[in-house]
Amino acid sequence: MADRRPAVRAVPGPPAIRRRIARIKESGIRVIANATMGREDVIPLWFGESDQPTPEFICDAAAAALRAGDTFYAPNRGKPELVTTIAEYENRLYAKPIAEDRIVVTNAGMNALMIAAELLVDPGDEVICVTPVWPNFLGCVEIMDGHPVEVALAPKDGRWHLDLDHLFGAVTARTRAIYLSTPNNPTGWMAERDTLEAILEFCRHHGLWVVSDEVYARVVYDRDVAPSFLDLAEPDDAVIVVNSFSKSWSMTGWRLGWVVAPAEAATMMERLNEFNVASPAAAAQTAGITAIRQGEPHVLEMRAGLARARDTVMAALGAIDRVELIRPDAAFYAFFGVHGMNSPTAMAWSLVEQAGVGLAPGDAFGAGGDNYLRICYAKSPDLLETALDRLAVALR
Ligand SMILES: Cc1ncc(COP(=O)(O)O)c(C=O)c1O
């Protein structure tokens, strides 16, 4: 048989990377932060994390584990004891029973989202994304050669509001999934149970997946846990819920999270873990067990501090004439409009230079964010007050 493979030719210049990847942009949240990080004169409020380190008892658990030789590969699904601990935690919080075979430990929420995209998105598939939103899942969809379709929340009667007709109207024959972050980063919107029920029913009827990003599930102020698809979904519903240790236990740097999915999908995600990170660091997983088992007082204390910070932000920004502000129901951001602002990115740059405060520009979060800036208020009271004083002068 003749060899029909094309003959190799000489090609000038370096080989190209994938065209789709070449078009991927740096996250708009990071553009200003990366250029400015480390500057002593700038108070950094651009990223979504607490300025408090991980509680010592969690660090101690990891340090002890490392010293005791917890330095080897862990199973792709995660350490069995952590999977059991997560199952116990979820079953305490949510109405529907969650079996361990539906849980996979991931390298934080970020890689959980990437694995979800790898699992669901074929080239050309559309994923409806409720925006404004932390943009990374949209990037994951693009990396898989899919198309994010943005459906924007909008202010209504002083609250952020999701128009379900608008959401469902965006679905086409190419749609594979609906993605939402609830509680939402950056707006602080939180879907109530009836909204989740309507989305689940619609997705059941139309054969769509739900990817529900619930990493702020415990960062709520008027209840113990945010409404979740885990209160509603049957074990075989096409629902993937993403969670993380980052926000509830102040563990952003540890890169530890998990997903709950139907058992078969979870098995595939376990397999995909192998080709992403194999599994999160073994000692981080041990720390995760301690975080869940002993970390409830931390969650409550952190939340009380955040509630005070939210009041501080509402009072300070609310007193600035040019600022329009919706009280966040949950998470730890205020997403505020500024009258007369042409470009949030230009405004964020000018606030870095004039006020020494680093914010995230609203246009980094997709449709609906164009006239906004995001401040993360998970910061110590003194730092937050200094930043707010500076903003009050700069935005006068
Ligand atoms: C909505 C949302 N999902 C997921 C993440 C990812 O967090 P991590 O990868 O630290 O778990 C973030 C981080 O800011 C977020 O805001």
**Pair 102, 225 in one domain:** yes
**Pair 304, 286 in one domain:** no
Ligand 1 and 114: CB distance under 6 A: no
Distance from Cα 322 to the centre of ligand 1, integer Å: 30
Q: How far apart are CA 190 and CA 206, in angstroms?
A: 24
Q: Identify each DSSP E strand in 75-191 by its residue range.
A: 103-106, 126-131, 147-152, 154-156, 159-161, 175-181
Closest Cα to atom 15 of ligand 1:
134
Write down the pLDDT at residue 104.
98
Number of Cβ within 10 Å of residue 115's Cβ equals: 27
**Pair 106, 49 in one domain:** no
CATH number, domain of 367, equals: 3.90.1150.10
pLDDT (tens digit per residue) in 197-214: 999 999 999 999 999 999
Residue 317 within a domain: yes
Residue 96 within a domain: yes
- The one-letter amino acid code at 252 reads T
Closest Cα to atom 4 of ligand 1:
109
Q: How far apart are CA 16 and CA 73, in angstroms?
A: 34
> Over 80: is that where the pLDDT of 114 sits?
yes
* Domain end (from 259, 294, 329): 294
Closest Cα to atom 7 of ligand 1:
109
φ, ψ at 112 (rounded to 5°)? -60, -40
> Over 70: is that where the pLDDT of 100 sits?
yes
**Pair 284, 316 in one domain:** no
**Pair 158, 284 in one domain:** yes
Residue 153 within a domain: yes
How many domains, the chain? 2
Best probe residue, ligand 1, of 246, 258, 376 (max atoms within 8 Å of C-beta): 246
Indicate which atom in ligand 1 lies nearest the CA of residue 49.
Answer: 14
**Pair 385, 286 in one domain:** no
* Domain end (from 264, 294, 324): 294
**Pair 98, 205 in one domain:** yes
> Over 90: is that where the pLDDT of 11 sits?
no
Q: How far apart are CA 88 and CA 83, in angstroms?
A: 9
Q: How far apart are CA 181 and CA 387, in angstroms?
A: 27
Please, which pLDDT band fits residue 6 given cuts at 50, 70 and 90? confident
Write down the pLDDT at residue 36.
87
**Pair 189, 335 in one domain:** no
Q: How far apart are CA 256 and CA 136, in angstroms?
A: 17
Residue 14 within a domain: no
Q: Identify each DSSP E strand in 118-277 by its residue range.
A: 126-131, 147-152, 154-156, 159-161, 175-181, 209-213, 239-244, 257-260
**Pair 139, 175 in one domain:** yes
Q: How far apart are CA 168 and CA 258, in angstroms?
A: 28
- The token duo for 365 is 């979060």
pLDDT (tens digit per residue) in 222-245: 999 999 999 999 999 999 999 999
Cα dihedral sign for 131, 245, 89, 263?
positive
pLDDT (tens digit per residue) in 63-73: 999 999 999 99
Please, which pLDDT band fits residue 96 given cuts at 50, 70 and 90? very high
pLDDT (tens digit per residue) in 294-343: 999 999 999 999 999 999 999 999 999 999 999 999 999 999 999 999 89
Residue 62 within a domain: no
**Pair 308, 284 in one domain:** no
Nearest to 131 by CA among 94, 105, 159, 160: 160
The pTM score is: 0.96
Nearest to 213 by CA among 186, 235, 237: 186
Write down the pLDDT at residue 31.
84
Residue 5 within a domain: no
CATH number, domain of 170, equals: 3.40.640.10
- The one-letter amino acid code at 234 reads E
Ligand 1 and 214: CB distance under 6 A: no
Write down the pLDDT at residue 8.
86
pLDDT (tens digit per residue) in 257-296: 999 999 999 999 999 999 999 999 999 999 999 999 999 9
Q: How far apart are CA 317 and CA 14, in angstroms?
A: 51
> Over 90: is that where the pLDDT of 105 sits?
yes
- The one-letter amino acid code at 260 reads V
> Over 80: is that where the pLDDT of 353 sits?
yes
Domain of residue 388: give its range.
Answer: 19-54+297-394
**DSSP secondary structure of 324-366:** EE---SBSSEEEEEETT-S-HHHHHHHHHHHH-EE-EEGGGG-
* Secondary structure of residue 233 in the 3-state scheme: coil
Residue 6 within a domain: no
**Across all residues in the chain, what is the average pLDDT?**
96
**Pair 151, 281 in one domain:** yes
Which distant-in-sequence residues (6+ apart) come within 8 Å of 161 by Cβ? Answer: 153, 154, 155, 189
Q: Identify each DSSP E strand in the chain by its residue range.
A: 43-44, 103-106, 126-131, 147-152, 154-156, 159-161, 175-181, 209-213, 239-244, 257-260, 323-325, 333-338, 357-358, 360-361, 372-376
Indicate which atom in ligand 1 lies nearest the CA of residue 331.
Answer: 16
What is the signed CA dihedral for 375, 379, 383, 387, rounded to 10 degrees? Answer: 10
**Pair 167, 35 in one domain:** no
Mean pLDDT on 215-227: 97
Closest Cα to atom 8 of ligand 1:
109
Write down the pLDDT at residue 1.
65
Nearest to 391 by CA among 344, 342, 358, 346: 358
* Domain end (from 249, 276, 294): 294
> Over 90: is that where the pLDDT of 396 sits?
no
Mean pLDDT on 93-107: 97
Residue 59 within a domain: no
pLDDT (tens digit per residue) in 150-198: 999 999 999 999 999 999 999 999 999 999 999 999 999 999 999 999 9
